[in-house]
Amino acid sequence: MQEKLESLMQELALKKIASGEVDRVLAWKKGESYFDVSPAIFKESFDGFTYNAFCGANLSKFLVEETKKEGKVLVFLKPCDTYSFNQLLSEHRINREKVYVVGIECQGKLDINKVYAKGIDGILDIEETDSELKIKTIYGDKTVKKDEVFSVKCETCKSKKLVVFDEKIVLNEMKDNKEKRFDIVEKLESMTEEERFAFWQAELSKCIRCNACRNVCPACTCTNCVFDNNKSGIAGKANADSFEEKLYHIIRAFHVAGRCTDCGECSRVCPQGIPLHLINRKIIKDMNTNYGEYQAGETVTPLNPIVDFKKDDVEANTVVGGKK
């Protein structure tokens, strides 16, 4: 199934380039191994073109720079990536006319670290079936069920809807599992303040301020980020004190509030494995509960709960982070 999808995608890409409709393609490229995948631009050669269970990267943010260039670009977007795309359109960050969007099927992406965590090492090659990974290692063959190694962002999938596309390639039905979306947030909320503090203190003290979360975030497209801007007074870098990380993550979460589509890229790329998406998801949950259901990127609109208001909104003091 995976191969069929991949070959259909490549076929389409080649066709569009041949017809001159687009002059390049933004997709994923295989590295040294099956799971080593990174975003790439394809023009003449499609060597290494791939689409597999490790293509978690959200390509929409690349379009900010890509659409500044000459010519039209074809991009493959998974359902959750299309939300980011719409959100960027809302923020006038992408020139829609310069993009040909191909919506593609996604059955959830995997995290190789979770495979390692199962004690599987020395991986030589991976083969993918609908529900399993067949892994060849120097210690012999292993199989792993896909749903045991879902990337953290795919453990709870908010939607499998392609909210924007010019064309789509979907072979099988896709299922979300949004019921579980706020489970962990709720668990944190049910902790005491002290426990929550301990939880976040432990998580955030792992932060090395590598800025990966910011750099990957499709809502963070400022050219002159406040954290790099000396004038902002918060342009710290070193983790000289535990305060720094909290400040960084609170400000970052607040800056993307209302615009965050919950794509989960922040958590996917965090080298320290901090569940950063739980911060943004808390804000989304609060906004949904208090100001009405809202999903950023579902439509193209400059209005979102943080710039909008109702005259009879709940009082700020009544919105709480959790139990006392």
Choices 119-127, 140-148, 153-161, 214-222; region in contact with another protein by CB under 8 A: 214-222
CB–CB of 108/80 below 8 Å? no
Q: How far is the CB of 182 from another protein (least distance, A)?
A: 12
Of residues 133 through 192, those in contact with another protein by CB under 8 A are 188-189
- The smaller minimum CB distance to another protein, of residues 49 and 227, is found at 227
> Is 216 an interacting residue with respect to another protein (CB under 8 A)?
no
- Kindly indicate which of the ranges 21-29, 51-59, 176-184, 221-229 contains the residues binding another protein, using the contact rule CB under 8 A: 221-229
**Distance of closest approach, residue 243 Cβ to another protein, in angstroms:** 4
Residue 206 CB, nearest distance to another protein (Å)?
A: 15
What is the three-class DSSP state of 145? strand
CA–CA separation, 136 and 34 (whole Å): 11
Short-list 67, 64, 74, CA closest to 19: 74
- Member of 30, 158, 214, 259 binding another protein (CB under 8 A): 259
169 neighbors 12 (Cβ within 8 angstroms): yes
Kindly write out the interface string for residues 223-242 of this chain, putting x where it contacts another protein by CB under 8 A and - elsewhere.
xxxx--x-xxxx-----xx-
- Candidates 6-14, 166-174, 249-257, 267-275 — which segment interacts with another protein by CB under 8 A? 249-257
Find the binder of another protein among 161, 244, 288, 299 (CB under 8 A): 244
202 binds another protein (CB under 8 A): no
DSSP 8-state code for residue 313: P
Beta strands in 31-166 (DSSP E): 37-42, 49-50, 73-77, 99-104, 123-128, 132-137, 140-145
Q: Which residues pair with 24 in a beta bridge?
A: 73
Closest C-alpha to 306, from 250, 252, 259, 253: 259
**Choice from 18, 32, 175, 324 touching another protein (CB under 8 A):** 324
Q: What is the DSSP string of 263-297?
A: --HHHHH-TT---THHHHHHHHHHHHHHH----TT
Number of residues that bind another protein (CB under 8 A): 70
For residues 7 and 27, the answer to whether their CB atoms sit within 8 Å is: no
Contact 63, 112 (CB under 8 A): no
Q: Cβ(49)–Cβ(10) under 8 Å?
A: yes
> What is the spatial distance between Cα 46 and Cα 7, in angstroms, rounded to a whole number?
11
Residues 261-280 that bind another protein (CB under 8 A): 279
Closest approach of Cβ 43 to another protein, in Å? 21
- What backbone torsions phi and psi does residue 180 show, to the nearest 5 degrees? -90, 5
- Residue 77 φ/ψ region, left for φ over 0, alpha for ψ in the -120 to 50 degree band, beta for the rest: beta
Least Cβ distance, residue 265 to another protein (angstroms): 17
Question: Hey, which residues between 38 and 97 contact another protein (CB under 8 A)?
Answer: 68, 90-93
Cβ closest to another protein, residue 91 vs residue 132: 91
Check residue 322 for interaction with another protein (CB under 8 A). yes
The interface region with another protein, picked from 72-80, 99-107, 110-118, 194-202 by CB under 8 A, is: 194-202
Among 20, 32, 179, 311, binds another protein (CB under 8 A): 311
The DSSP secondary structure of 251-269, one letter per residue, reads HHHHHHTTT-----HHHHH
- Give the three-state DSSP class for 4: helix
Interface positions with another protein (CB under 8 A): 68, 90-93, 188-189, 193-201, 219-226, 229, 231-234, 240-241, 243-244, 246-247, 250-251, 253-257, 259, 279, 282-283, 286-287, 290-291, 302-303, 305-311, 313-322, 324
